[in-house]
């Protein structure tokens, strides 16, 4: 082999003195890494195959064929933070598949798993993965307080502090109360729920609890009112949705103000929903038409890429 000039990209071209064929020297491992890097650039950004084709000189069919080997490669979590605070939530990627995700207080992904439904078993699997990453004694966990999650949390970490996501409580309460309640009790309760975001101190939290208790006393008889069902066969509560909001707040109160006792604990799961779930959903919409398995690969690689980007982040 003798040197035979350079290619348009500046690489040394070699020529065989026997067969007169020319080419460049390649390393299979480096070529594989470069192709995988190109695959993630396409998968995790708004880059399109047509633009990659123009920049790299390969046809879209060639790129698709080369990318095919990366869809089934395992994506393993490699967490280096301390995980003092854990925020957990799930994201639906298909009719029969969800991804459960755990991040730390700085938004660094800790662990993730796929599941069919959000059950106590699937949440316990996520917490087992969290422990494998070295997070065994978190200070607090922030979640939407799904029943199976709370049960798995007790199995996995015992009685550790739990912060109920305030956004979930406010959003659900507003949906049930509607924007313009038609009763005095509903108007007062909506105003009370809307004041949750303004609570910054323990005294304000105590005042909220007192106002809620006062509201319960004032409207106790109103909430007990019953009427006949449309089929005229049974009695049921007239103000069902108002009672739902009452129950929602009453059950949330024990864990709603944990953030006031523990510094740096967020009061919502917005760091996960807005910082992780939303970008994943946006990428899925950008690559619309993907199968569920490809969506799973996209989500897993996004989480792993976020870990690499924030390797030095500490929680």
- pLDDT tens across 210-223, in order? 999 999 999 999 99
Neighbours of 258 (CB within 10 A): 17
Q: What is the pLDDT of residue 315?
A: 44
* pLDDT for the residue 236: 81
Identify the residue with better confidence: 169 or 30. Answer: 169
C-alpha 80/C-alpha 78 separation (Å) is 7
More confident position, 8 or 259: 259
Beta bridge pairs of residue 12: 6
**How far is residue 268's CA from residue 284's CA, in Å, rounded to a whole number?**
24
Please say if the pLDDT value at position 313 is more than 50.
no
Question: CA geometry: angle at 145 spanning 139 and 149, to 5°?
Answer: 80
Tokens of 233: 């066969």
Query: Could you tell me the two tokens for 132?
Result: 């494998």
Mean pLDDT of the chain, nearest integer? 89
Do strands 162-164 and 12-15 pair parallel, antiparallel, or not at all (unpaired)?
unpaired
User: Residue 255 above 50 pLDDT?
Assistant: yes
C-beta of residue 125 within 8 angstroms of C-beta of residue 251: no
> Locate tokens 């594989």: which residue?
32
**What's the longest Cα–Cα distance across the chain?**
100
Q: How far is CA 229 from CA 12, 24, 239, in A?
A: 84, 81, 12
Candidates 114, 103, 100; CA nearest to 146 is: 100
Count of beta carbons in the 10 Å neighbourhood of residue 133: 18
Q: Write the CB contacts of 187 (distance below 8 Å, at least 6 apart in sequence).
A: 181
**pLDDT grade for 314, boundaries at 50, 70 and 90:** very low
SS3 for 9? coil
User: How many whole angstroms separate alpha carbon 246 and alpha carbon 248?
Assistant: 5
Residue 312 in this model has a pLDDT that exceeds 60: no
CB atoms closer than 10 angstroms to residue 136: 11
Sheet of 85-94, strand order: 109-115, 97-104, 85-94, 140-143, 162-164
- Rounded to 5 degrees, φ, ψ at 140 are -160, 155
Of 243, 256, 165, nearest in space to 208 by CA: 256
d(CA 3, CA 12): 7
Evaluate whether 267 touches 195 at the Cβ level (below 8 Å). no
User: What is the reported pLDDT for 46?
Assistant: 86
Each residue's pLDDT tens digit, 126-180: 999 999 999 998 999 999 999 999 999 999 999 999 999 999 999 999 999 999 9
């Amino acid at each position: 082999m003798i040197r035979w000039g350079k290619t348009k990209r500046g690489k040394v071209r070699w020529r065989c003195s026997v067969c007169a064929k020319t080419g460049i020297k390649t390393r299979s491992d480096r070529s594989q890494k470069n192709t995988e890097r190109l695959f993630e650039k396409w998968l995790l950004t708004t880059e399109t195959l047509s633009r990659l084709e123009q920049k790299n000189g390969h046809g879209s069919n060639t790129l698709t064929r080369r990318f095919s080997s990366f869809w089934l490669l395992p994506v393993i979590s490699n967490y280096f933070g301390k995980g003092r605070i854990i925020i957990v939530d799930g994201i639906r990627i298909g009719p029969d598949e969800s991804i459960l995700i755990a991040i730390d207080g700085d938004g660094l992904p800790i662990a993730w798993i796929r599941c069919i439904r959000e059950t106590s078993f699937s949440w316990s699997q996520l917490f087992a993965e969290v422990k494998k990453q070295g997070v065994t004694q978190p200070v607090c966990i922030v979640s939407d307080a799904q029943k199976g999650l709370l049960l798995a949390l007790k199995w996995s970490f015992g009685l550790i502090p739990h912060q109920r996501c305030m956004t979930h409580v406010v959003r659900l309460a507003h949906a049930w109360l509607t924007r313009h309640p038609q009763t005095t009790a509903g108007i007062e309760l909506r105003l009370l729920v809307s004041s949750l975001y303004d609570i910054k101190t323990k005294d304000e939290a105590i005042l909220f609890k007192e106002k809620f208790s006062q509201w319960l006393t004032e409207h106790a008889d109103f909430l007990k009112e019953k009427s006949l069902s449309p089929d005229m066969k049974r009695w049921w509560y007239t103000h069902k949705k108002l009672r739902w909001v009452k129950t929602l707040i009453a059950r949330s109160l024990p864990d709603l103000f944990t953030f006031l006792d523990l510094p740096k604990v967020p009061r919502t799961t917005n760091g996960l929903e807005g910082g992780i779930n939303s970008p994943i959903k946006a990428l899925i919409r950008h690559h619309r038409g993907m199968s569920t398995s490809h969506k799973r690969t996209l989500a897993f690689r996004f989480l792993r890429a976020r870990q690499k980007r924030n390797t030095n982040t500490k929680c």
